[in-house]
Amino acid sequence: MSMKETALRIRIFGDQALRKKAKSVKELTTKHREYLSAMARLMYEGDGIGLAAPQVGLSEAMIVIDIGSGLFKLVNPKIIKIEGRQVLEEGCLSVPGVCIKVKRAKKVKVKALDESGRQIVIDAEDLFACVLQHEIDHLNGKLIVDYASIIDKVRIKNKLEELKKKAKDEELSESETKSCQLQL
Ligand code: ZN
Instruction: Give the domain ranges of the chain.
Output: 16-183
**Is-contact 134 48, C-beta < 8 A?**
no
More confidently predicted of 122 and 3: 122
CATH fold of 16-183: Peptide Deformylase (3.90.45)
pTM, entire model:
0.92
Catalytic residue among 125, 135, 174, 176: 135
Q: What is the pLDDT of residues 50-70, one digit of tens each?
A: 999 999 999 999 999 999 999
User: 48 alpha carbon to ligand 1 midpoint, in Å?
Assistant: 9
Of all residues in the chain, the percent with pLDDT exceeding 70 is 91
Report the distance separating Cα 167 and Cα 39, nearest Å: 19
The overall longest dimension of the chain from CA atoms, in Å, is 45
User: Does residue 135 carry a catalytic annotation?
Assistant: yes
